[in-house]
Amino acid sequence: MPKYIAKTYQGLEETLSQELAGLGATDVTLSKRAVLFDCSQEVLYKANYLCRTALRISKILNEFEISKEEELYDRVYEMPWEKIFPVDAVFMVDSSSLESVFSQSRFASHYARIAILDRFRRVLGQKPSVDSEYYTIRVEVFIRKNHCEVLLDASGMALNHRGYRKPASEAFNEVLASGLLKLGGWNPDTDLYVPFCGNGIVAVEAAMQAMNMPAGYYRTGFSFEYWNDFDPKLWKEVKAEAIDAIHDPEGTVWASDSDPLIVESTGAFLKKIRMHQDVDLSICDFMRGKRPENMGEISDLTLCVPMPVMKRGEEFSATSFYSELGKALKGNYSGCTAMIYTIRESDLRDSLMLTPEKEYELREGIKPAFLNICRIR
């Protein structure tokens, strides 16, 4: 049985599996919005620190069948929690229940939480603290019909929170941005242009890939650091090896926007995280055929076009936007490759007038989105 599960967005499972296998994971198996795998402690540390397309990584502690609520308490109580995390930890239980004996997931959380507390109290004579917001240990309980899985979150805060900006609630986050670049086949040793830079996330993720900078380079901590079997020496070695592998980029990452306020905000953000020299940022009206000033030969250029971010109160016409985008690409970037991310599949065929060589469907939520890889001719 695989010991770990890494969650991701639907459509990025294969990309994540390749990342994990490349780090040394074994028995890698794809699932819906997740990848199951086995690994050593060292690879677990590497997966959390280096994987760009994982949202969260958890250890599978136990699986069992239940037919009534009390059985969840009994089975969780039997687990040796005192050997898993220390009594001075702060923990929480997060549950998900579907077609099970629990009418609401919070009841499953309650039974599991009480069982853990009672176990600590009986074995050690004291119990850990519980806090659903400021915790160091997160236990996950998933119940589908009669089958129950108990997991231990190794990541803590979701891995899309890289640490270089404040946690945000946007659907388009760091994992999705990095996933688009990898899924689209961009070679980090070549040039990339992000013409609608928005908050700068795509450009930052591209620059980090180009320098082989760890995804968790700016991050301050992970939940596995609070486990009983945490090895600080090994963790220090994993980070040191990854940081030593950072190198100067071979290509250039360009980013631009026609809005001076967006460029000013993004520029300040890049400077704050000391990446203003790693992303060539400029004010540029891409739709009118303008290019960044320092851009030279473009034969090997890849463009990444995320969905545009609209200003509050601004009307957006997908037909008009993609029609202008198609004209700009065909008129100024012939021979280049464009990775175009859109919610509506028909936008490309009806307005852009480009036929994708490859098309990938992703789901960051309920509605599908599409990554289209187009060779501009």
In a domain, 230, yes or no: no
The pLDDT of residue 346 is above 70: no
Domain match, 127 and 48 both: yes
Residue range 304-333: mean pLDDT, rounded:
79
In a domain, 217, yes or no: no
pLDDT band, very low/low/confident/very high, at 349 (cuts 50, 70, 90): low
CA 119 to chain centre: 34
What CATH number has the domain bearing residue 139? 3.30.2130.30
Query: For the segment 151-202, what is each residue's pLDDT rounded down to a tens digit?
Result: 999 999 999 999 999 877 676 899 999 999 999 999 999 999 999 998 899 9
CA 12 to chain centre: 10
CA distance 115 to 314: 52
Domain match, 187 and 336 both: yes
Closest CA to 273 of 165, 133, 123, 159: 165
CA distance 369 to 73: 41
Give strand ranges (E) for the chain: 4-7, 26-31, 34-38, 56-65, 90-98, 129-130, 137-144, 147-153, 192-194, 253-257, 280-283, 302-305, 337-342, 358-363, 368-375
Query: For the segment 102-127, what is each residue's pLDDT rounded down to a tens digit?
Result: 878 889 899 999 999 999 999 999 99
The pLDDT of residue 97 is above 90: no
What CATH number has the domain bearing residue 339? 3.40.50.150
The pLDDT of residue 3 is above 60: yes
- Collapsing DSSP to helix, strand or coil, 128 comes out as coil
- Collapsing DSSP to helix, strand or coil, 337 comes out as strand
Domain match, 32 and 138 both: yes
- Collapsing DSSP to helix, strand or coil, 361 comes out as strand
Lowest-pLDDT choice from 45-54, 164-173, 197-206, 258-267? 164-173
| Residue 87 vs residues 137, 180, 210, 224, 230: alpha-carbon distances, Å | 11, 41, 42, 15, 15
Residue 293's pLDDT is what? 85
pLDDT band, very low/low/confident/very high, at 141 (cuts 50, 70, 90): very high
CA distance 354 to 250: 30
What residues make up the domain containing 318?
174-212+248-375
In a domain, 237, yes or no: no
Calculate the average pLDDT of the chain: 91
CA distance 368 to 355: 19
Domain match, 147 and 27 both: yes
CA distance 118 to 74: 11
In a domain, 218, yes or no: no
In a domain, 238, yes or no: no
Domain match, 102 and 187 both: no
Domain match, 310 and 199 both: yes
Domain match, 292 and 330 both: yes
Pairwise pLDDT comparison (199 vs 79), residue with the higher score: 79
In a domain, 228, yes or no: no
Domain match, 198 and 136 both: no
Residue 296's pLDDT is what? 80
Domain match, 113 and 186 both: no
Residue 201's pLDDT is what? 94
Residue 297's pLDDT is what? 78
In a domain, 159, yes or no: no
Domain match, 191 and 86 both: no
Domain match, 199 and 336 both: yes
Domain match, 123 and 271 both: no
pLDDT band, very low/low/confident/very high, at 31 (cuts 50, 70, 90): very high
In a domain, 366, yes or no: yes
- Collapsing DSSP to helix, strand or coil, 210 comes out as helix
CA distance 216 to 214: 5
Number of domains in the chain: 2
In the chain, % of residues over pLDDT 90: 74
Closest CA to 269 of 218, 214, 213: 218
Residue 206's pLDDT is what? 97
| Residue 12 vs residues 44, 207, 279, 351: alpha-carbon distances, Å | 19, 20, 25, 27
The pLDDT of residue 83 is above 90: yes
Residue 194's pLDDT is what? 96
